[in-house]
Amino acid sequence: MHALANPARFLRFARPATVWCLGVGLLLVLTGIGGGLFITPPDYLQGETVRILYIHVPSAWLGMAGWGAIAAASVSQLVWRHPLSAIAGRATAPAGATFAGACLVTGSIWGRPTWGTWWEWDGRLTSMLILFFLYLGYIALASAERERGGEGRMAAIFGLVGAINLPIIHYSVLWWRTLHQGQSITLGGSTIAPALLWPLPLTMLGFTALFAAAVLMRMRAELAELRVEARLRRASSE
Q: What is the pLDDT of residue 236?
A: 64
What are φ and ψ of residue 43, in 5° steps? Answer: -70, 145
pLDDT at 118: 87
Phi, psi angle pair for 202, to nearest 5°: -65, -45
3-state SS assignment for residue 43? strand
- Residue 9 one-letter amino acid: R
Say what the pLDDT of residue 3 is.
53
Sketch the domain layout of the chain as residue ranges.
52-180+196-237
- Tell me the pairing of strands 185-186 and 189-190: antiparallel
pLDDT the model gives residue 122 = 86
* Model pLDDT, residue 105: 97
CA distance 132 to 16: 31
Q: Note the pLDDT of residue 10.
A: 87
**In which residue ranges of the chain is pLDDT below 50?**
1
How far, CA to CA in Å, does 8 sit from each of 15, 96, 212, 226?
11, 26, 19, 13
Closest CA to 142 of 163, 157, 127: 157
Would you say the pTM of this structure is higher than 0.85? yes
Give the count of alpha carbons within 13 A of 117, CB side only: 7
